[in-house]
Each structure stands twice: as C-alpha cells, then as structure tokens.
Amino acid sequence: MTRMHSDELALDDLLVRRLLQEQFPEWAELPLRQSEPSGTVNAIFRLGEGLSVRRPRRHGSTEPGSKELARLPRLERLLPVEIPVPVAQGRPGVGYPWYWEVHTWVEGDTAPVVLNQHKVRSR
C-alpha cells in the first residue's frame, strides 16, 4: 500500500482480512483488493462485488459512530446519484486502534468536484 501521510498506519490486505475474520466472518472469505486511487483520509478496499471497507489512515475515531453512519443514509434519498452507504461498523482490534466501516460499493467514476472560483478583491 502506498502511504500518503508520514504518520499514517500501515493498512494492508492482511490487516483488513484479519479484522473481517474477527468481526464479520460472513464477509471474511470474499475477494479483497485495495481500491486505486485510494482516499486520502481513508484507505478503501473493495470487498466482493458489492461492498467496500473504509479504514482511517490516521487520527481515526476511538468512539463508535461517525458522520458517514449518521448522514449518508439520509443523503442517499436526497441526491440524484447513487452514493456508498454504511452497512456495518467495525471496532478496534488485531492491532488496529480505530473504528472502521463497511459500505456498499458503487461502480462508476468519481464525480468531479467543482470549486467556487470567485475572486476576492482587496480594497
């Protein structure tokens, strides 16, 4: 796995597989591969055909719950595009210190982000 930050944890397939075996044995034998490009905040692994595993690279939560768990299911109904939604939340274990999540997998391209390019005039 390529590291994006000097202080991030190593998140390889073996660690992901061990966490799945420990916490979600029903998914532990599904094919697993790291998604490229992976996220900058979370390392993303494709799990089988319909799921993804999202693991914080650094500074993850030590408490259950997350913004994604709370907001994505509500946003899904409001947006005109399909988005990944949480299916389960894993807990710290087998050497990984933070909570992590399993989401649905959405096939396709990443939607482009358009930033507001307004110029600010100084006086």
Tell me the pLDDT tens digit for each residue of 72-113.
989 998 998 889 999 999 999 998 999 999 999 998 876 666
Tell me the pLDDT tens digit for each residue of 8-21.
677 788 999 999 99
Domains with residue ranges and CATH for the chain: 13-104 (3.30.200.20)
How many CA atoms within 13 Å lie on the side-chain side of 55?
Answer: 27
Cβ-based neighbours of 4, under 8 Å, separated by 6 or more: 38, 40, 57
| Cα–Cα distance list, 102 to 12, 19, 25, 108 (Å) | 16, 11, 13, 18
